[in-house]
């Protein structure tokens, strides 16, 4: 007979741990199992600082066991499928797990293989990426070793987690080169048609790129890398035009990989046509399976995929799931909040906060389009503290924000 739990959470990352902790704070008697194979938990927003040499990977890595909330059962395995019609999760070991309620939050996978030649050269030949813990330290090595020439930073088509992270890497590297007198031609090539998804922040960020002398190439996305010959091939994706391939040489190439939900999610009945877990954008309840909820990067909600978004989604899922258990109306509504602390140069951050529809908001009563030292400090020290000590323990602080424009 299948092992059974009242609530099964798939994924013990930012979303899974925050939701479990939030649920258990509300009701310590709940029977919750967290399916999570990893023994370590990363503070992924810190990877940008690892790539910039201002922080170490060790500081961004903690033991998963430390964050499994008291009272929850940790099933240290990977899910390999979900059968929501039968209320079952399949585990990689072949075992199946029965649930009354499901919270699905396994994050997204990094699709390195969708860029031809990339898996063979990533981590060598000046090809680096802040997106994985294995590769972020090499970014810092590449930046330090760069003696001049062309440094290319790429951004694939959306959605990706932390859409601001590719340009953060470019700004910090350009700033480092300038401070060290290195003659660099810095390029930012992005598949999108504008530098940031929220118009309110676009002029300020265009000015930041210009201040660094960065050449921004829109609708241009990386399709192949030849590491040994230091050549990157891009496809220009102008609307209504035939895609055109252009190959450029590089001395440093920082790649942001395309991303998507794990295959078993894409193939499950939980997925929408794009492979993401289809939930109502406000209640975070599945649109077809009432006893299932999803949040975080694998969810279909059209917010910016960030830990900041998860911080506000987790209490909504916890509150709504409990209400369903108790036959009450849903108390929680997610407004699409996300925040992207853009490291515009060493010591300065522009913190872009916004909700659904690209409506700018801010938590602090400060002009959000300004690069600030205070925000650098908050990003470097305050936000990791908020993550490890507040969010992952199910506390719901700093969830208020006010409209800006
Ligand atoms: C370079 C970089 C910079 C970023 N910068 C910021 C930032 O400045 N601000 C910000 O708010 N956010 C930032 N983010 C994004 C943020 O880290 C993610 O949005 C957030 O972690 C999403 O939470 P999640 O729980 O959905 O996914 P994750 O935190 O990735 O967790 C998913 C979990 O699911 C587990 N899992 C995977 N497969 C399975 C399976 N088959 N079965 C069970 N479990 C599974 C994984 O092991 C993992 O623990 C950044 C991310 C990166 C990579």
Buried/exposed code over 209-220 (b: 16+ C-beta within 10 A; e: otherwise): beebebebbbbb
Sheet containing strand 149-155, strands side by side: 127-128, 252-254, 149-155, 184-190, 215-217
Beta-bridge partners for 81: 90
Ligand 1 — pocket residues by CB below 6 A?
A: 10-16, 35-38, 44-45, 47-48, 78-79, 105-107, 130-131, 161-162, 165, 262, 296-298, 305-308, 310, 341
Distance CA 377, CA 67 (A): 25
pLDDT (tens, 9 = 90+) of the chain, 405 residues, equals: 789 999 999 999 999 999 999 999 999 999 999 999 999 999 999 999 999 999 999 999 999 999 999 999 999 999 999 999 999 999 999 999 999 999 999 999 999 999 999 999 999 999 999 999 999 999 999 999 999 999 999 999 999 999 999 999 999 999 999 999 999 999 999 999 999 999 999 999 999 999 999 999 999 999 999 999 999 999 987 767 778 899 999 999 999 999 999 999 999 999 999 999 999 999 999 999 999 999 999 999 999 999 999 999 999 999 999 999 999 999 989 999 999 999 999 999 999 999 999 999 999 999 999 999 999 999 999 999 999 999 999 998 776 677 775
- Residues 72 and 20: beta-carbon distance below 8 Å: yes
Indicate which residues carry an active-site annotation: 162, 340
User: For residue 405, what pLDDT is reported?
Assistant: 57
CATH superfamily of 3-108+261-334: FAD/NAD(P)-binding domain (3.50.50.60)
What CATH class is the domain 111-253?
A: alpha beta
Enumerate the H helices of 146-191 as residue ranges: 165-179
Q: Contacts for 195-200 with beta carbons within 8 Å, 24 or more apart?
A: 195/167, 196/163, 196/164, 196/167, 196/352, 197/158, 197/163, 197/304, 197/358, 198/352, 198/354, 198/358, 198/360, 199/358, 200/354, 200/358, 200/360, 200/369, 200/404, 200/405
- Ligand 1 centre from 243 Cα, in Å? 32
Same fold: 3-108+261-334 with 111-253: yes
Sign of the Cα torsion 317, 323, 327, 330 reads negative
Ligand 1 pocket test, candidate residues 9, 10, 13, most atoms within 8 A of CB:
13
Q: How far is CA 397 from the centre of its chain?
A: 21
User: For residue 280, what pLDDT is reported?
Assistant: 98
- Ligand 1 centre from 160 Cα, in Å? 11
- Ligand 1 centre from 43 Cα, in Å? 8
The residue nearest atom 49 of ligand 1, judged by CA position, is: 13
User: For residue 338, what pLDDT is reported?
Assistant: 97
Closest CA to 360 of 201, 181, 138, 205: 201
Distance CA 192, CA 7 (A): 39
- Ligand 1 centre from 276 Cα, in Å? 14
All structural domains of the chain with their residue ranges = 3-108+261-334, 111-253
Ligand 1 pocket test, candidate residues 45, 52, 349, 383, most atoms within 8 A of CB:
45
């Amino acid at each position: 007979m299948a092992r059974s739990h009242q609530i099964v959470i798939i994924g013990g990352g930012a979303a899974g741990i925050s939701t479990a902790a939030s649920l258990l704070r509300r009701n310590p008697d709940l029977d919750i199992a967290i399916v999570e194979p990893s023994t370590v938990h990363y503070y992924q927003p810190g990877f940008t600082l690892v790539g910039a040499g201002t922080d170490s990977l060790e500081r961004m890595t903690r033991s998963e066991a430390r964050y499994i909330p008291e009272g929850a059962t940790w099933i240290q395995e990977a899910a390999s499928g979900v059968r929501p019609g039968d209320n079952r999760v399949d585990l990689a070991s072949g075992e199946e797990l029965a649930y009354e309620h499901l919270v699905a939050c396994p994050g997204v996978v990094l699709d390195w293989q969708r860029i031809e030649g990339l898996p063979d050269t990533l981590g060598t030949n000046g090809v680096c990426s802040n997106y994985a813990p294995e590769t972020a330290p090499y970014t810092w090595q590449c930046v330090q070793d760069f003696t001049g020439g062309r440094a290319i930073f790429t951004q694939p088509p959306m959605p990706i987690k932390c859409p601001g992270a590719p340009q953060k890497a470019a700004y910090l590297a350009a700033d480092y080169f300038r401070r060290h007198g290195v003659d660099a031609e810095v390029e930012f090539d992005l598949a999108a048609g504008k530098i940031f998804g929220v118009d309110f922040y676009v002029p300020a960020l265009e000015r930041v790129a210009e201040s660094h002398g960065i050449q921004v190439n829109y609708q241009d996305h990386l399709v192949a890398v030849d590491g040994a010959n230091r050549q990157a091939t891009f496809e220009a994706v102008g609307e209504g035009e035939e895609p055109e391939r252009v190959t450029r040489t590089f001395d440093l190439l920082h790649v942001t990989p395309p991303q998507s939900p794990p295959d078993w999610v894409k193939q499950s009945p939980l997925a929408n046509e794009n492979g993401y877990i289809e939930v109502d954008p406000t209640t975070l309840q599945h649109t077809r399976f009432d006893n299932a909820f999803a949040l975080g990067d694998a969810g279909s909600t059209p917010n910016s995929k960030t830990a900041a978004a998860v911080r506000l989604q987790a209490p909504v899922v916890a509150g709504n799931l409990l209400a369903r258990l108790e036959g009450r109306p849903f108390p929680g509504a997610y407004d699409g909040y996300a925040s992207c602390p853009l490291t515009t140069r060493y010591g300065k951050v522009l913190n872009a906060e916004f909700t659904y529809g690209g409506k700018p908001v801010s938590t602090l009563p400060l002009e959000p389009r300004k690069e600030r030292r205070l925000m650098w400090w908050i990003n470097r020290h305050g936000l990791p503290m908020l993550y490890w000590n507040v969010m992952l323990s199910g506390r719901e602080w700093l969830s208020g924000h006010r409209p800006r424009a």
